[in-house]
């Protein structure tokens, strides 16, 4: 419901339009589809299209849905089984040209996600022509495609011109050393981008090291950086420590699933201590010992609590905790009497005769 404005009416209409587009065939009636879109003209804001069998001209959608703000689009087919055909999957040149023209004219689209479209360097070049003239998109997701160094260079040129884009997701592509350098150099001019994801790419240790150096020299304003699932190691760890020591913009970092070990862990821990702005870091699935991971997590926890003006204390340091709490547990309850008093009372009670006489008399009777 959150994706649909927390409105049941909007959710129903958007899911209805989504189903019509996903199941639209080449031989289907275009006028009938236009009629359906026109009936929901001002009610559709978010569409998540998981398949587009007909490779429909998206200009039809943008013309009849002027309020479309969030769009996730994958050119492909679901559950094809034995009817698999290669042309069903991925964005074609005609699709890219049509969609690029839509990006030039849209006045409402702020979120665009194009995952799993087999977008290569040629297709991204076509899309960039539309993105350069776009004045609304602030979140761009190009994950799970086939963009390599040449495509990264075209994206870098786009970053030089845009002053709107704040989030760029390039996860699961084929970007290597050269491509990462193009992107880092673009950030020397672009001070608007805050979130960059390069996880699941082809960055080796040298590429990761050079990326950190470039970001440091270019005074990057990135607040969140993901380099997970690459091939980063010793050189990267050293450059990262230098970057974290001097850069105060970065706040969240994901370097999980790499080849970082304990040999340079001390340097990285010192940089995290010196930079209290780091409030989130993911170092899982590296070659770090469990003790090192715990120490890093403790440092980050202190930074996060400090950002919320909450003092960091261990469990035993809180009032009523630790040793004090143990002492309280050992003290007798106010409602209970001491064992000595209770024993004395019980002894006196046993020796005191009752109305029916003493225990010995009762037995005799």
345 CB burial (10 A radius; 0-12, 13-18, 19+): exposed
Q: What is the pLDDT of residues 293-324, one digit of tens each?
A: 999 999 999 999 999 999 888 776 666 655 44
CB 222 within 8 A of CB 197: no
Q: What are phi and psi of 140, to 5 degrees?
A: -125, 120
d(CA 106, CA 62): 7
Let me know: does 179 contact 148? Beta carbons within 8 Å: yes
Mean pLDDT in residue range 202-221:
94
pLDDT tens profile 113-157: 999 999 999 999 999 999 999 999 999 999 999 999 999 999 999
Count Cβ neighbours within 10 Å for each residue of 6-31 and write b for 16 or more, e otherwise: eeeebbebbeebbeebbebeeeeeee
- Other CB atoms within a 10 A radius of the CB of residue 270 amount to 14
Superfamily classification of domain 15-317: Ribonuclease Inhibitor (3.80.10.10)
What residues form DSSP beta bridges with 281?
253
Report the distance separating Cα 73 and Cα 117, nearest Å: 8
The pLDDT assigned to 3 comes to: 72
221 three-class SS: coil
Q: How confident is the model at residue 162 (pLDDT cuts 50, 70, 90)?
A: very high
Least confident span in 208-222, 234-248, 311-325? 311-325
Alpha-carbon distance of 338 to 68, in angstroms, equals 76
Tokens of 108: 């409402």
- The candidate with the shortest Cα–Cα distance to 206, out of 241, 228, 176, is 176
pLDDT at 319: 66
Kindly state the average pLDDT of the residues 209-220. Answer: 94
3-class state of residue 5 by DSSP: coil
What is the average pLDDT across 286-292? Answer: 94
Which tokens sit at 223? 């607040």
What's the confidence (pLDDT) of residue 171? 98
Residues in Cβ contact with 264 at an 8 Å cutoff, skipping those fewer than 6 apart:
234, 237, 238, 241
Tokens 């008399």: give the residue: 361
Residue 104, φ and ψ in degrees, nearest 5: -70, -30
Alpha carbon of 167 to those of 192, 224, 277: distances in Å?
9, 9, 20
pLDDT at residue 357 tops 70: no
pTM: 0.84
Which SS3 state, helix, strand or coil, does residue 302 take? helix
**Distance of CA 110 to CAs 15, 51, 57, 166, Å?**
20, 21, 20, 11
Helices (H), the chain: 8-22, 30-39, 59-64, 93-105, 121-132, 149-161, 177-186, 205-217, 234-246, 265-274, 290-307, 322-330, 339-351, 359-364
Residue 226 CB neighbours (<10 A): 21
């Amino acid at each position: 419901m959150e994706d649909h404005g927390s409105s049941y009416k909007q959710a129903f209409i958007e899911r209805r339009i989504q189903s019509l587009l996903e199941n639209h065939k080449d031989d289907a009636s275009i006028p009938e589809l236009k009629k359906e879109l026109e009936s929901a003209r001002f009610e559709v804001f978010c569409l998540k299209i998981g398949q587009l069998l007909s490779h429909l001209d998206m200009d039809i959608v943008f013309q009849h849905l002027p309020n479309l703000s969030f769009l996730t689009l994958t050119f492909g087919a679901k559950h094809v089984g034995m009817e698999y055909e290669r042309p069903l999957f991925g964005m074609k040149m005609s699709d890219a040209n049509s969609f690029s023209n839509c990006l030039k004219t849209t006045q409402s689209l702020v979120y665009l996600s194009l995952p799993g479209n087999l977008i290569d360097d040629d297709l991204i070049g076509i899309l960039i022509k539309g993105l350069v003239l776009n004045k609304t998109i602030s979140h761009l997701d190009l994950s799970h495609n086939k963009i390599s160094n040449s495509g990264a260079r075209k994206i870098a040129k786009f970053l030089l011109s845009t002053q709107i884009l704040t989030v760029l997701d390039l996860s699961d592509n084929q970007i290597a050393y050269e491509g990462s350098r193009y992107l880092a150099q673009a950030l020397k001019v672009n001070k608007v981008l805050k979130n960059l994801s390069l996880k699941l790419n082809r960055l080796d240790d040298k590429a990761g090291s050079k990326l950190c150096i470039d970001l440091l020299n270019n005074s990057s304003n990135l607040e969140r950086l993901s380099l997970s699932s690459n091939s980063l190691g010793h050189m990267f760890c050293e450059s990262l420590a230098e970057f974290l020591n001097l850069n105060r913009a970065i706040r969240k970092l994901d370097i999980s699933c790499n080849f970082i070990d304990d040999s340079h862990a001390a340097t990285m821990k010192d940089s995290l201590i010196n930079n209290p702005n780091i409030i989130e870091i993911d170092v899982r699935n590296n070659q770090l010992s469990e003790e090192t991971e715990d120490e890093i997590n403790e440092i980050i926890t202190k930074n996060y609590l400090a950002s919320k003006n909450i003092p960091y204390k261990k469990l035993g340091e809180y009032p009523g905790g630790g040793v004090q709490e143990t002492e309280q547990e050992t003290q007798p309850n106010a409602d209970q009497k001491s064992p000595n008093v209770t024993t004395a009372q019980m002894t006196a009670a046993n020796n005191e005769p009752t109305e029916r006489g003493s225990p010995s008399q009762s037995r005799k009777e």
